[in-house]
Amino acid sequence: MARVHGKDTAPELFVRQTAHSLGYRFRIHRADLPGRPDMVFPSRKKVIFIHGCFWHRHKECKRASVPQTRQEYWLKKFALNVARDKLNVAALIEAGWEVLVLWECGLRNRDSVVRELRTFLEAPTSECVSTPSLTRACPAARPAPTLTRRGDEVLARQRQGRKYSKQPGRADRANS
Ligand SMILES: [Zn+2]
């Protein structure tokens, strides 16, 4: 698929509106960053992805079902999505960004989103947590992502001094 993120999804709009109401300034879908993060906070060097549970395979989430037909096709597609997400997060961390992933199933009420945004955006240093609805990756923890062999090759290419600003979306193409 061309873009896992789709267009401006309802969960994205919800988080954006909430962040905006709190007075945060951000950019959306910056094409010069790995994975085109849904929200970019340049001065804080932080990015947020709002992930749909189905496409991005939220672990142990009932929304991450597998269609009954063409399972092989779907599983392959999902595996690529997950590998690509990991590569993007790794590349962002490598470049000094802090990354927060918000899962759509955890975005039901505004208060919890406010809390997540404030905690992530106001934290002066990296504090890494992981809850069912949220995964936070940061330079301090830097967990080595489990990469498929193909993923390793992509990452190796990314490390050969390639500039994202020149060829946005190449990671997507390389993986698709
Ligand atoms: Zn979920």
Residues 26-57: pLDDT tens digits? 999 899 999 999 999 999 999 999 999 999 99
Nearest to 15 by CA among 130, 100, 85: 100
Q: Please indicate, yes or no, if residue 81 is contained in any of the structural domains.
A: yes
137 versus 123: which is more confidently predicted? Answer: 123
| pLDDT for the residue numbered 175 | 42
The mean pLDDT value for 131-160 works out to: 45
> Which structural domain, as residue segments, surrounds residue 30?
10-175
Asked whether 53 and 85 are in contact (CB, 8 A), the reply is no
Distance 163 CA to ligand 1 centre (A): 33
Percentage of the chain modeled with pLDDT above 90: 62
- Three-state DSSP class for residue 59: coil
Asked whether 61 and 53 are in contact (CB, 8 A), the reply is yes
Q: Please indicate, yes or no, if residue 4 is contained in any of the structural domains.
A: no
Query: Which CATH number characterizes residue 75's domain?
Result: 3.40.960.10
Distance 127 CA to ligand 1 centre (A): 22
46 versus 127: which is more confidently predicted? Answer: 46
What total number of domains does the chain contain?
1
pLDDT at 172 over 80: no
Structure tokens at 42: 């340049």
The mean pLDDT value for 162-167 works out to: 42
Q: Please indicate, yes or no, if residue 1 is contained in any of the structural domains.
A: no
Percentage of the chain modeled with pLDDT above 70: 66
pLDDT at 124 over 60: yes
Q: Please indicate, yes or no, if residue 3 is contained in any of the structural domains.
A: no
DSSP 3-56: -TT-SS-HHHHHHHHHHHHTT---BSS-TTSTT--SEEEGGGTEEEEEE-HHHH
Distance 162 CA to ligand 1 centre (A): 33
Neighbours of ion ligand 1 (CB under 5 A): 53, 58, 61, 63, 103, 105
| Mean of pLDDT over the chain | 78
Q: Please indicate, yes or no, if residue 2 is contained in any of the structural domains.
A: no
Asked whether 139 and 98 are in contact (CB, 8 A), the reply is yes
Distance 87 CA to ligand 1 centre (A): 20
Distance 160 CA to ligand 1 centre (A): 34
Distance 113 CA to ligand 1 centre (A): 15
Distance 55 CA to ligand 1 centre (A): 10
Nearest to 119 by CA among 106, 109, 108, 134: 134
DSSP 115-131: HHHHHHHH-SS----EE
Q: Please indicate, yes or no, if residue 96 is contained in any of the structural domains.
A: yes
Q: Please indicate, yes or no, if residue 5 is contained in any of the structural domains.
A: no
| pLDDT for the residue numbered 168 | 43
The mean pLDDT value for 78-101 works out to: 96
Structural Rg of the chain based on CA atoms: 16
